[in-house]
Amino acid sequence: MTARLDLSADPVELTAALVDVPSVSEQESDLADAVEKALRTQAPHLEVVRNGAAVLARTNLGRDSRVLLAGHLDTVPINDNLPSHRTGSGDEEILHGCGTVDMKGGDAVMLGIAASLTEPRHDLSFVFYDCEEIAADRNGLNRIERELPEWLTADLAVVCEPSNASIEAGCQGTMRVEVRTHGQRAHSARAWMGENAIHAAEPVLRRLLDYTPRQPEIDGLTYREGLQAVRIEGGVAGNVVPDSCVVTVNHRFAPDTSEAAAEAHLREVFAGFDVTVVDVSGGALPGLAEPATAELVTAAGGRPVAKLGWTDVARFAAHGMPAVNFGPGSPSLAHTQQEHVHTADVRHCADVLRRFLV
């Protein structure tokens, strides 16, 4: 039986209702069914489309501009943290449970706005998608881009991922490379007859230790780059000098750097070594000078901050639109057993977006 969602409810109540419908990646269908049914029955002013385990809705009012709000329906695996429960009261009330932060609080904010704003000053698009928490090639936005690309066009995209209820503008790019060293096998009792590939990786680690990352300022925001070894593999057996070693390095680069420039930089850093790019996703410029972004920043109050990490804002920025992260909850709590959101954050995000859109 499909769960019933009341889109007119307080956004905290709606968050709890969403959390209590389990939706681990690739198992989002029950929640997608509930979201689709709620939008079709409680928001008749919206055009609603189902695409796999994603649900899309939009207004078609002929406004001069369009704002897109996006949120994923899936969560990481449940870790003995369902059903939801609350502690505290008033401004100190906290909602606990898998997905409260990442990112059903943001989904609840989106759903409440979708149902209640029948005459927004911008046309609105809402994208509730699947499989964000697993491999990037499974992300539901890929399928939507292939099959319904017109649904991902707007003048501003707001991804309601947790951002401590403040505007996080743009995002860093990320690249993983494998730096490989080579040697020659030999019996460890006669090590002088071989060449140890693990020992040969010492200069790679030294370059990482000596590396000074950039901290460029873009639109008044500081992006802290990073270069870290995240894995090392080598060795054949306990009595064999290894002939191969691979150091996997993750580079977080500022959005003023292209993927090609990031790759060229890493090849320069590790000159003389065999370098293979295994994964890359470009960043997104903050776009704070864009009128729609500036209006949202004003509505949110406070000062925007740089997003130090990669999110799906980069997918929207690749389409030429400014994109920001804005949602309730602390990113540091995402994916933890202790995941929880302050209910005041959920209501604050709903109030800010409503103020921006009406």
Q: Which residues are catalytic?
A: 74, 132
Distance CA 277, CA 174 (A): 11
Alpha helices in the chain (DSSP H): 11-19, 29-42, 105-116, 140-147, 202-210, 259-269, 291-300, 313-317, 343-357
Closest C-alpha to 103, from 138, 136, 128, 134 = 128
Distance CA 279, CA 178 (A): 10
68 and 300 Cβ atoms separated by less than 8 Å: no
CA atoms 113, 114, 115, 120: torsion sign: positive
- Helix, strand, or coil (residue 110): helix
Q: Could you check whether the bond before residue 103 is cis, i.e. omega within 30 degrees of 0?
A: yes
- Integer CA distances (angstroms), 282 to 153, 175, 253, 352, in order: 19, 8, 9, 29
Give the CA count within 13 Å in the CB-facing half-sphere of 13: 8
- Integer CA distances (angstroms), 227 to 124, 212, 214, 248, 252, in order: 39, 9, 10, 11, 6
Give helix then strand counts, H and E, for the chain.
Answer: 9, 19
Name the token pair of 97: 């449970």
Closest C-alpha to 277, from 261, 290, 297, 293 = 261
Spatial strand order in the sheet of 47-51: 47-51, 54-58, 123-129, 66-72, 156-159, 323-325, 168-169, 305-306
- The DSSP call for residue 2 is P
Distance CA 144, CA 319 (A): 13
